[in-house]
Amino acid sequence: MGPASYDVIVVGGGPAGCAAAAAVTRAAPAASVLVLDRADFPRDKPCGDGIAYQVSGELRRLGFDVERVFAGTATVSGLALRSPAGVRAHRRLRDPVHVVPRRIFDARLVRQLAGLGIELRRHAVRTVEVRPGGVCLDGRWHARVVIGADGAESAVRRGAARSQVPAWRRPAPVALAIRGYAPELPEFAGSQYITMTDQHWPAYAWSFPIGGGLANVGYGELLGRRPVNRADLLARLHALLPGLTEPAELRAHRLPLSSGRPSIPDGPVLLVGDAQSMINPFTGEGIYYAVVSGGLAGQAAARALAGDGDAGALYRTSTRRRLGRHLRHTSALARLGGWTALIDAGLRAGRDDQRAFDDLVSFGLADGLLTPRLLSRLRLRD
């Protein structure tokens, strides 16, 4: 008996995978779609839990009931930032953000897939074979297109690289972060707080309220030549957030940054979200990128099923059109990231002007650009 056959298989049931599966079904309702995930839902995923306002619009366009996704969760309207030199900017967000633990957010997205007629199974993919006419997974399933949404340690990326795609072997710059839950810091109750440091730069700590007096707290830094361990990360977290109660549910995770993202090759295997190194190098934000890249990959897969072209080529083109300019701007800033004075100047601009602050937030949390207004207000000194 041969492998079960589907039009599209999505590996990974997080935001990127759910967006990809929904996009396929929306564009090609008759397509057979299977989502594979190695865990049962609800399950935890180490993350800052902050979800930008723009994510809601992307999910709504893909057919998700956004009100149900965010029902009963925390909405935050303030953001406080502290630069490496101690410049502070604390303003109201133009668009409130949600802070939703991933065990809730991801499970609600997965639950809505069933209503779209999408099949979900628990399975950890180990082997990926690219064959004429499609892709075989573990000898059990065959698909015309496979979308890898299985995170920073993507088995789909590794398997496809061994099979035929050497471009995916190139490592991206990687940050390491640790996250837990603790009582909110009184000084910034009700607001998201991000504080940066020039020690081990680029590095920052955060506190994002999730409701009930609790916050998602964490610390991350770019991995370099010196090794870093759990004790190091925790010590730096407490140094940047003095008075913090010892966090519970601590988990560490790797963040492959978009400034080193691999090229998107032709073929039937598409990578999205963390698997495609889609993490903002300026802020570590990944959920917006996950949902957008998942949607673009799903649309490309549907077009390929209809005979409009190669899935990889279609995905590459749509990604360039949708995110290309933004990604060029974030990569340019990442190359200048060692110059902390530039970050200080950006926060001065945001501190002094609400519109510049809004531009800065859009750049860090969604697909904003380094606007002329923001650049014109940069001052290297007070």
Q: What is the CATH number of the domain that holds 228?
A: 3.30.9.10
Does 60 map to a domain? yes
Taking CA atoms, 214 is separated from 45, 158, 210, 244, 315, in Å, by 17, 38, 6, 11, 40
User: Tokens for 1?
Assistant: 């008996």
Among 315, 297, 316, smallest CA distance to 8 is for 297
Q: What Cα–Cα distance (Å) separates residue 5 from each residue in 118, 134, 135, 154, 234?
A: 14, 10, 10, 22, 47
C-alpha to C-alpha distance for 184 and 235, rounded to whole angstroms: 18
Residues paired with residue 197 on neighbouring β-strands, in sequence order: 203
**Helix axis angle, 311-335 to 287-305, nearest 10°:** 160
**Amino acid sitting at position 134:** G
Of the candidates 347, 339, 379, the residue with the CA atom closest to the CA atom of residue 363: 347
CATH of the domain at 31: 3.50.50.60
Question: Quick one: 157 and 286 in the same domain?
Answer: yes
Token pair 């279609």 is found at 314
Residues 268 and 143 in one domain: yes
| Residue 61 falls inside a structural domain | yes
Residue 122 belongs to some domain of the structure: yes
**Is 167 within 8 Å of 133 (Cβ atoms)?**
no
Mark whether 117 and 197 lie in a shared domain.
no
Residues 283, 143 share a domain: yes
* Nearest-angstrom CA–CA distance, 78 and 209: 11
- Classify residue 149: in a domain, yes or no: yes
- Residues 287, 363, single domain; the answer is no
Whether the pTM exceeds 0.75: the reply is yes
Residues 6 or more apart whose CB falls under 8 angstroms from that of 367 comprise: 54, 288, 292, 322, 323, 326
| Mean per-residue pLDDT pooled into runs of 10, the chain (382 residues) | 90 98 97 97 94 96 97 95 94 95 97 93 95 94 98 92 58 87 91 92 94 96 85 96 96 88 92 95 92 98 98 98 95 76 90 94 92 77 66
- Asked whether residue 111 falls in the same domain as residue 244, the answer is no
- Do residue 167 and residue 273 come from a single domain? yes
Q: How far apart are the first and last CA of the chain?
A: 72
The answer as to whether 12 is a domain residue is yes
Residue 221, in any domain of the structure: yes
For 68-199, where are the E strands, in sequence order?
A: 74-82, 88-99, 119-122, 128-131, 134-137, 141-148, 174-183, 191-197
pLDDT above 70 covers what percent of the chain? 95
Q: Among 256, 289, 319, which residue terminates a domain?
A: 256
Domain end marker among 256, 280, 295: 256
The DSSP symbol for 279 reads: -
- Amino acid letter, 328: R
What is the distance between the alpha carbons of residues 264 and 311, in angstroms, rounded to a whole number? Answer: 10
Q: Looking at the structure, tell me whether residues 198 and 67 fall in a common domain.
A: no
Residue 382 domain flag: no
Domain of residue 286, residue span = 4-72+101-172+258-334
Domains identified in the chain, total number: 3
Whether 105 and 22 map to the same domain: the answer is yes
What's residue 164's pLDDT? 57
Q: Are residues 263 and 162 part of one domain?
A: yes
User: Per the domain annotation, does 381 fall within a domain?
Assistant: no
Angle at Cα 367 formed by Cα 276 and Cα 200, nearest 5°? 70
Report pLDDT for 381.
66
The answer to whether residues 308 and 348 belong to one domain is no
Helices (H), the chain: 15-27, 53-61, 66-70, 102-115, 155-163, 230-240, 287-305, 311-335, 340-352, 354-365, 372-376
Judgement on whether residues 262 and 323 belong to the same structural domain of the protein: yes
